[in-house]
Structure 1
């Protein structure tokens, strides 16, 4: 019996500490679903690439910056960062063991194999929010793509990342002059104001046009030097 091209096919389904995570194929696309919420697919990647480009461009001529990408997703941000000669180190924080598995020899490996083999790349299997609050490391850029936006989080615990306390933790995890870049499925003037109130400078929102609906965006902000 053949499967309709338009019917999603579940490739893997896992129950983890944060709930259910699913990888499915829909036609030529691979899709990640978390707790029934669509996260991302392999259809485009423009906004994930802009997330990295905007952060690196905002760092100017800083030599060999260390960037943190959270999370791994379908691998667009990591692959784009590894294809760029500017980063000196690329650390990825991903809390879902299943997603890491899907990249390490699984269905998503075709997108990320070269980036994962890059000696600059390291993967931390950890919750990004916890890592930002607790890490003693500092990064030159935080490229964060773990939710559909500050007002549309995948799990309730992620909400604190976009609060004044969470942004203060982000600032502590950044070097002076470091860049915070946050992907969102829609613009958020309220989040821009929260960034400014948290002491970030050069706050702006870059838009990525989409075929239908409001544009995807990247919120950008700089920790004062």
Structure 2
């Protein structure tokens, strides 16, 4: 079996860590330290994050979507496939190297998604973008870190605590959806979503269609009588 080789390294802002793009044969993975953040072989759950969300937005032909985390483009590609021509998708990516890989060694995975006129790529913290946009989005999709606990960047945890969920709710339109990907279950996070005024569906889905460990998706819809941003 071929060994993994390191194709490139990028700094993770706000941490001393680096993000590494690794390749073996024609397969790729992105890692921080020994933690695998994503792989082109295990991407079914990332696609489902967008597919299931867009199915719930069929009555909004001009839906405006925010995706937190560019990754290998699977969530973005699935969102574009599920949205109409009047929709728009903003993608927030904190690590400049990841954006460079999307137009370099990983371009074949993106299939031109970044050139779609519906897409705006912003090299910024998704947390900051959410705070700037009251009532701006029909859905916010978060595939940041490995879920509600910031495994690679402690600041990412702010997206998932009560303050972060309150700001996400503030940035969503009535009936909007906060969709969250996680590598593992988290009962406390699910309870926190409900406490902050979301109706929550928890979905377990394999990382690949036929095999792989089960990942968790939360599709949390803003309830009209839920807690406000304050």
Structure 1 residue 60: Cα displacement:
4.2
**Residues 1:137 and 1:117: Cα distance change in structure 2 (over 3 Å):** farther
The whole-number CA distance in structure 1 between the counterparts of 2:124 and 2:79 is 20
Q: Report if the CA contact (8 A) 2:64-2:87 is conserved.
A: yes
**In the aligned structure 1, how far is the partner of 2:58 from the partner of 2:188?**
27
Counterpart position of 1:103: 102
Distance (whole Å) between structure 2 residues aligned to residue 224 and residue 85 of structure 1: 23
1:15 to 11, 23, 38: 11
What does the per-residue CA deviation read over 1:111-170, in whole Å, with 9 as the maximum and x for residues that have no partner?
Answer: 114211110011010011232234457110011101211135321111111111100010
1:160 matched to which residue of 2? 158
What's 1:175 paired with? 173
What TM-score results when the alignment is normalised by the length of structure 1?
0.90
Report what 1:139 is aligned to. 137
Please point out which of 171, 184, 187 is paired with 1:186.
Answer: 184
Q: Equivalent residue of 1:69, what SS?
A: strand
Structure 1: gaps spanning 5 or more residues: none
* Kept in 1: contact 2:67–2:90 (CA 8 A): yes
Separation (CA, whole Å) in 2 of partners of 1:159 and 1:179: 19
Matched residue, 1:124: 122
Calculate the aligned-residue CA RMSD, in Å. Answer: 1.8
SS at match of 1:175: strand
Query: Which secondary structure does the structure 1 equivalent of 2:28 belong to?
Result: strand
Match of 2:78 in 1: 80
- Match for residue 207 of structure 1? 204
2:62 corresponds to which residue?
64
Among residues 8, 18, 31, which one is paired with 1:33 in the alignment?
31
Task: Tell whether the 8 Å contact from 1:146 to 1:154 is kept in structure 2 after alignment.
Answer: no
Question: Within 1, Cα distance between the matches of 2:68 and 2:169?
Answer: 15
Tell me, what secondary structure is at the counterpart of 2:113? helix
Distance apart, 1:35 and its partner CA: 4.3
Q: Are the aligned partners of 2:175 and 2:223 in contact in 1 as well (CA < 8 Å)?
A: yes
Q: Does 1:91 align with 2:87?
A: no
Aligned residue for 1:55, secondary structure, equals helix
Count of aligned pairs between the two proteins: 218
What is the SS of the residue equivalent to 1:153?
coil
1:55 to 49, 53, 56: 53
Taking a change above 3 Å as real, the CA distance of residues 17 and 35 of structure 1, as seen in their structure-2 partners, is: farther
Distance 2:151 2:174 in 1: 28
Aligned 8 A contact 1:187 1:205 in 2: no
Instruction: Kindly indicate whether the alpha-carbon contact (under 8 Å) linking 1:103 and 1:113 is maintained by their aligned counterparts in 2.
Output: no
